[in-house]
Structure 1
Amino acid sequence: MTSGLLQSETADQVVTTARTAVGDSLRSVTYFTRDDYEQLYLRDDLERDADLSTFIGHEWRGFKVAQSAYEGSELGEYRYTIRVFDNGFLIRITSEREGVFVTTDGLTIKDFEETATAISSVLEERNRS
């Protein structure tokens, strides 16, 4: 991992913005480009053992795939991705040149969860028929 991809003022601003938006549920903030990354914040109670290079590769490819797949869609321009896990969430905000992913726990995204649950139930019911 290379440090110094961002000027320290910009890195501080990214972390402060995430901290303000997420509060105590913030787990980590990572800045990335296609070729490199820098973990800007990691909460003290978490281990530094995540394979960030694999995460970055996946998130960069995932952004490109999503951007291409939905280009010209009636949904509009791609804005960000939320991934939901058993123990938290990952929010990826990406542009053509760079991105940030923020991991959280305990963040309430009730509307997303209810929608996903409802759609999953419909699909499961359809597949049983």
Structure 2
Amino acid sequence: MSDQRDLVDPSLEEQLVSACRTAVGDSLRSVTYFTPDAYEQMYLRSDLEADADLAASVEHEAAGFRTQMAYEGSELGDYQYTLRVFENGFMTRVIDGDRGVFVTTDGITVLRSKEVTEAIRSTLRVTAPAE
């Protein structure tokens, strides 16, 4: 898994960050785009330091490409998104095809998490992957 600058088309990056900021507001900490092989952090709130082990987090979240298949045909219905709760914040992960985005926030409700998920998924679906 490699940190890759310019993985995301600037237009898509702007749309995704804007959608996340609109849905989450000032609670938004970071936005990271990832594929099975690479990732790019598109946004990090200015009061935070870029010292987190992002590669390890992305590698773990990228496992979602494989694990979401485990739930195919479940009586629960189609996989939607993952919400992780931590001591100092929250992470919402969305996977759509071979692309994913996760956002970290200070606080979030289930409703707000669903809203940011829908905003991310909508943006990914109307924007073709960068070649």
AA matched with 1:100: V
AA matched with 1:34: P
CA distance in 2, matches of 1:30, 1:8: 14
Counterpart of 1:31?
Answer: 33
Counterpart of 1:123?
Answer: none
Structure of greater relative contact order (alpha carbons < 8 Å, 6+ residues apart): 2
2:43 matches 1:41 = yes
Q: How high is the TM-score relative to the length of structure 2?
A: 0.78
Counting only pairs closer than 5 Å after superposition, residues 1-129 of structure 1 correspond to structure 2 as 1-65=3-67, 67-109=68-110
CA distance in 1, matches of 2:61, 2:107: 22
CA distance in 2, matches of 1:97, 1:62: 10
1:43 Cα shift? 0.4
CA distance in 2, matches of 1:37, 1:63: 14
Superposed CA deviations along residues 17-72 of structure 1, whole A, max 9, x for unmatched, are 0000000000000000111110000001111011111111100113422x133110
AA matched with 1:44: S
The unaligned stretches of length 5 or more in structure 2 are 114-131
Preserved CA contact (<8 Å) 2:72 2:78: yes
Superposed CA deviations along residues 98-119 of structure 1, whole A, max 9, x for unmatched, are 1000000122348x9xxxxxxx
Q: How high is the TM-score relative to the length of structure 1?
A: 0.79
CA distance in 2, matches of 1:34, 1:62: 9
- The alignment's C-alpha RMSD in Å is 1.6
